[in-house]
Amino acid sequence: MPLRRNRRQYEQLTDFDRGVIIGLREAGWSNRRIGRHLGRSDMVVARCWQQWITEGRVYRRGGSSRETIRRRLTEVGLRSRRPLKRLPLTPHHRQCRLDFADLGQLGV
């Protein structure tokens, strides 16, 4: 039986928790102390604080819409198309191929 690792389910920080982190950091608390107080990792606290310092906000960023993804892929030259398995034949070419196959069956 293969060993399976149980992954811990993480919860996103609430806006209230983010505000508490910023307030306690400004009050002089350490990342580790805040993490213990909230039951979070000190790295979560550090990342939240770093986002506050660099971006001036602590709320989560929005995701990318389908249009944005399509536009970005088009900008770098990626398209969603399937390559042809064969070249399409015109009616004239199709008839020429059939005539050639008929000649082969006759042994000519």
pLDDT tens-place string over residues 12-28: 888 899 999 999 999 99
Q: Sign of the C-alpha dihedral, residues 65, 68, 70, 76?
A: negative
Contacts for 57 with CB less than 8 Å, ≥ 6 apart? 51
Residue 33: count other Cβ atoms within 10 Å of its Cβ.
14
Residue range 79-103, pLDDT digits in tens: 777 778 888 889 999 999 999 998 8
How far is the CA of 41 from the CAs of 6, 36, 108, in angstroms?
Answer: 19, 7, 83
Quick one: pLDDT at residue 108? Answer: 64
pLDDT (tens digit per residue) in 61-76: 777 888 888 888 889 9
- CA pair distance 41, 74, nearest whole angstrom: 40
Burial class (CB in 10 A: 0-12, 13-18, 19+), 31: buried
